[in-house]
Amino acid sequence: MLALKLENITISFPGLAAPVLRIERLALAAGSQLAVTGPSGSGKSTFVNVVTGLERVAQGRVCWGDTDIAKLPEGARDRWRGQNIGLVMQDFHLFPGLSALENVLLPLRLSGRAGKSAIERGHALLQRVGLSRPDQAIDGMSRGEMQRVALARALLRRPAVLVADEPTASLDAESGALVGDLLIELAGTEGSTLIVVSHDTALTSRLARRLTLAAGRVASDEQIRAQAA
């Protein structure tokens, strides 16, 4: 798990009168769980891109532990992200034609590191998210099952940080609730700091802290419950 410190972040795009994200200071403790919410266009995806290093930050600091990822050149930032961040996206980003297990292992296979222990962990994670057929093709799965495969994949490398961007938005209420349960529980047991961007109040209200963005600014930052052990 890693702690996050943001300082003096300003993200602007040409032709826009105001920055799309402006955060003077934000700290998140290692292992804690943060929900990020706000209306459409308020800067939530930009926030995700900043903290995962997908968006280049020209000024300010984005420190995860002792590493200021804003200072890393692009290749080093990509490697850092691969080693430290597990990403779960709204539309899964899975590969049709591959099985559940092949999808979980793909990032490691691409870097030539899918050894015996990774395969065992892939099997265990699929079991853990309630999928008992690792060889099942992705194409025949329900959307909720696909998101559970994506969650297993995100956790394969024991990421210090798990970031989920609208993980339940394309799921029905029941599948969304199950994915939300697994996300919160597994981030806790795997020891990953968790950031969840979501409009889904059933999900965001279960996280300890809620950051609300409006027009690129922090409109509120509330501790809404004690963090579950």
Interface positions with ligand ATP (CB under 6 A): 13, 16, 20, 38, 40-46
Q: How far is the CB of 15 from ligand ATP (least distance, A)?
A: 7
Q: Which is nearer to ligand ATP, 32 or 45 (CB)?
A: 45
| Residue type at 45 in one-letter notation | S
Q: How far is the CB of 154 from ligand ATP (least distance, A)?
A: 19
Q: Which is nearer to ligand ATP, 45 or 192 (CB)?
A: 45
Q: How far is the CB of 31 from ligand ATP (least distance, A)?
A: 25
Q: How far is the CB of 227 from ligand ATP (least distance, A)?
A: 25
Q: Which is nearer to ligand ATP, 46 or 168 (CB)?
A: 46
Ordered DSSP codes for 63-75: EETTEEGGGS-HH
Q: In the sheet where 4-11 sits, what is the strand order? A: 21-28, 4-11, 61-64, 67-68
CA atoms within 13 A on the CB side of 138: 18
Structure tokens at 162: 């798990």
Structure tokens at 47: 């926030």
Q: Which is nearer to ligand ATP, 16 or 173 (CB)?
A: 16
Q: Please list the alpha-helical segments (H only) found in 67-190.
A: 74-84, 100-110, 116-128, 143-155, 173-190
